Amino acid sequence: MSDATRSIAPPRRQGRPGRPVGRERLPVVALVLAVIAVAFFALPLIGLLWKAPWSNAWSLLNKAGSLTALRLSIVCSLWATALSIVFGVPLAWLLARVEFRGRGIVRALCTLSMVLPPVVGGVALFFALGRRGFVGQYLDRWFDIRLPFTTAGVVVAQTFVAMPFLVLTVEAALRQFDRRFEDAARTLGAGRWYVFRRVTLPAIRPALVAGAVLAWARALGEFGATITFAGNFPGTTQTMPLAVYLALESDPAQAIVLALVMIAMSFAVLIALRDRWLGAVTTPAS
Amino acid sequence: MRSTRPVLVTFLAVIALAATACGSDSKSKASGSVTVFAASSLTEAFTEMGASFEKANPGAKVTFSFGGSGDLVTQIGQGAPADVFASADDSNMTKLVDAGNALGTPTVVAKNSMEIITEAGNPKGIATLADLAKPDLIVVLCATTAPCGKLAASVLKTAGVTVAPKSLEDKVKGVVTKVTTGEADAGIVFVTDVKSAGSKATGVEIPATQNRVTNYPLVVTKQATNTTGAAAFIAYAASPDGQTILAKYGFLAP
């Protein structure tokens, strides 16, 4: 399948076969700025490593609640990513392909949660989906569904802040994708859904993966909307960022260990995914 | 000439603020910028206190950073630019003092006690602490890392009541928000929090035999850039004018 999709994917401009991208030389100024940027991201991490209580790290990690929070974080962030894909890809498709009045407004609306302070987002979710919210009161009355203080509430809060990252990334890819490939498939008799699955989706796969990873990372680190909307209770709503934040007040050493576990996990996923998915598509086929 | 004076004062205040912000202020004066790191239960009372202090000390500018007491201790320990630290309990103040981040001894300017907070009008008819144990109630408490959480736990223990909270908030205002938005039925917060929530919440008193009283100690921080201004603010909070403001928000006299 991947060979077929590769052959119809649009030609890439950079990276001619046989010429590694890494050989390119940057102007000195750009190089210096880039190195400063790397240091800017690396230094806080080094700071954490430097302050980490290595001797009793293991016992701190095994302290009550840490692993529960870690498990909850993984489960919730994966759910949030899945929901972001299920709803976000069609949304991106709508925004990229369908001309309609007020499209700009809809796009702004759907990315609003990126700029909204997360705590405000959490309160806004209360007003919409809470027990007294204008939708939530019917969820409560008719379906007995209550989101605040539940794990589902954590997923809702995370999805709310994470989905825009996927939507924007996928939308940009859909816009750049040469629609003639879809038209060609269509003239060959392929249905709309078939074209989307077999032509469009493979072509935007790198963007979809990148968007999903961004959304996942945002969901994993989500704090403000979660603690506001879902609350903080070990086992049901206390995710890693919440556990880290609370530990910071009582036991800073434990907070550092938890933060490092989160960082290590995200790091592994980001690197693995890049090689596995993005790398496979961007490196020229031999 | 007269009319230009307020402009001039503002101008000087801005310069003073900029100077302290840059940390280049060599000799601090009674005026200038005072940065107060205060427990979030002091939010309303201290906001008014700040305005009134500025009125009494033309040229002074008070900036607040409100947060959980434990959080603020950590921030000050990391060199946050605080001149004054106002804690909602003695233990966080002790932490700051023991870490060597305080100048002089703390002054207690107010006391507070606990109260049950319910939705406006108390629709669930909560009357005692024991009512909080009812299984159909959504109760939210502070985490025990926050002073309100420690006190609530102690109050419940004294009353012999076991509560299954739905959430353990990082700070007292989190409990207030959950109750005033109607997501939680009740919580245990400071008397002053119920008062400042106004008509959005109703308080249920906790009898003195079960209640706990907490101190609000203030201290000048070690890294204060405006020690005179910081001391003046603490003195103002302890003065009759300051006490009137604190009493208005439900705080008890020290």
Model confidence pLDDT, tens digit, residues B1-14: 444 555 545 554 44
Residue contact A132–B140, C-beta within 8 A: no
Residue contact B143–A132, C-beta within 8 A: no
Q: What pLDDT shows up at residue B184?
A: 94
B-chain residues within 8 Å CB-CB of A233? 165-168
Comparing CB atoms, the residue among B71, B166, B183 nearest residue A126 is B183
Strand partners of residue B67:
B39
My answer on whether B156 and B80 are in the same domain is no
Q: What pLDDT shows up at residue B25?
A: 37
Residue contact B182–A148, C-beta within 8 A: no
**Interface predicted TM-score (ipTM) of this complex, two decimals:** 0.71
Q: What pLDDT shows up at residue B20?
A: 44
Q: How confident is the model at residue A26 (pLDDT cuts 50, 70, 90)?
A: confident
CA–CA min distance B70, chain A (Å)? 5
Q: Which of B85, B46, B70 is nearest to B219 (CA)?
A: B85
**Segment B205-212 long-range contacts (CB within 8 Å, at least 24 positions apart):** B205/B115, B205/B116, B206/B113, B206/B114, B206/B115, B206/B116, B206/B129, B206/B155, B206/B159, B209/B158, B210/B129, B210/B155, B210/B158, B210/B159, B211/B113, B211/B114, B211/B155, B212/B113, B212/B114, B212/B151, B212/B154, B212/B155, B212/B158
Interchain CB contact of A228 with B (< 8 Å): yes
Q: What pLDDT shows up at residue B16?
A: 47
**Closest-CA residue in chain B for A132?**
B182
Residue contact A131–B182, C-beta within 8 A: yes
Q: What pLDDT shows up at residue A268?
A: 85
B-chain residues within 8 Å CB-CB of A131? 182-183
Q: Which of B215, B214, B221 is nearest to B75 (CA)?
A: B221
My answer on whether B8 and B125 are in the same domain is no
My answer on whether B27 and B94 are in the same domain is yes
* pLDDT surpasses 80 at A19: no
Q: What pLDDT shows up at residue B1?
A: 43
My answer on whether B35 and B126 are in the same domain is no
CA–CA min distance B239, chain A (Å)? 32
My answer on whether B71 and B89 are in the same domain is yes
Q: What pLDDT shows up at residue A119?
A: 87
CA–CA min distance A206, chain B (Å)? 39
Interchain CB contact of A186 with B (< 8 Å): no
Q: What pLDDT shows up at residue A284?
A: 43
Instruction: Return the minimum-mean-pLDDT range out of A233-247, B25-39, B138-152.
Output: B25-39
CA–CA min distance A239, chain B (Å)? 12
Domain-embedded: residue B254 = no
Q: Tokens standing for B171?
A: 């700070």
Mean pLDDT, rounded, of chain A: 84
My answer on whether B69 and B121 are in the same domain is no
My answer on whether B186 and B227 are in the same domain is no
E strand map for B29-179: 32-39, 60-67, 84-86, 102-119, 139-142, 167-169
Q: How confident is the model at residue A278 (pLDDT cuts 50, 70, 90)?
A: low
- Cα–Cα distance, B143 to B149 (Å, whole number): 5
My answer on whether B56 and B41 are in the same domain is yes
CA–CA min distance A265, chain B (Å)? 25
Per-residue model confidence as pLDDT tens digits over A159-200: 999 999 999 999 999 998 888 888 888 888 888 888 888 888
B-chain residues within 8 Å CB-CB of A250? 70, 144-145
My answer on whether B176 and B127 are in the same domain is yes
Residue contact B167–A232, C-beta within 8 A: yes
Residues B180-209 have a mean pLDDT of 92
* pLDDT surpasses 60 at A99: yes
My answer on whether B150 and B32 are in the same domain is no
Q: What pLDDT shows up at residue B84?
A: 96
Is B187 strand, coil or helix?
strand
Residues B26-41 have a mean pLDDT of 75
Per-residue model confidence as pLDDT tens digits over B80-137: 999 999 998 898 999 999 999 999 899 999 999 999 999 999 999 999 999 999 999 9
Strand partners of residue B214:
B112
Residues A2-19 have a mean pLDDT of 47
- Cα–Cα distance, B65 to B86 (Å, whole number): 10
- The percentage of residues in chain A with a pLDDT greater than 70, rounded to a whole number, is 87
Residues A211-229 have a mean pLDDT of 92
Residue contact A246–B74, C-beta within 8 A: no
Within 137-166 of B, beta carbons closer than 8 Å to A belong to: 138, 140, 143-146, 165-166
B-chain residues within 8 Å CB-CB of A123? 177, 181
* pLDDT surpasses 80 at A7: no
Residues A127-151 have a mean pLDDT of 89
Number of domains in chain B: 2
B-chain residues within 8 Å CB-CB of A234? 168
Domain-embedded: residue B73 = yes
Interface test with A, best of B76, B140, B181 (most A CBs within 10 A): B181
Interchain CB contact of A144 with B (< 8 Å): no
Report helix angle A66-97 to A205-221, nearest 10: 140
CA–CA min distance A242, chain B (Å)? 9
A-chain residues within 8 Å CB-CB of B166? 149, 231, 233
Interchain CB contact of A128 with B (< 8 Å): no
My answer on whether B39 and B67 are in the same domain is yes
Q: Which of A202, A199, A201 is nearest to A190 (CA)?
A: A199
Q: What pLDDT shows up at residue A79?
A: 97
CA–CA min distance A231, chain B (Å)? 5
* pLDDT surpasses 90 at A271: no
CB–CB contacts below 8 A, A to B: 63
Residues A54-77 have a mean pLDDT of 86
Domain-embedded: residue B253 = no
**Domain harbouring B105, CATH code:** 3.40.190.10
Report the predicted TM-score, pTM, of the whole model to 2 decimal places.
0.75
Domain-embedded: residue B221 = yes
Mean pLDDT, rounded, of chain B: 87
Comparing CB atoms, the residue among B68, B167, B178 nearest residue A249 is B68
Q: Tokens standing for A24?
A: 């390119």
CA–CA min distance A123, chain B (Å)? 9
Residues B23-45 have a mean pLDDT of 72
Ordered structural domains, chain A, with CATH: 61-282 (1.10.3720.10)
My answer on whether B22 and B53 are in the same domain is yes
Residues A225-253 have a mean pLDDT of 88
Question: Residue B181 belongs to what domain range?
Answer: 112-213
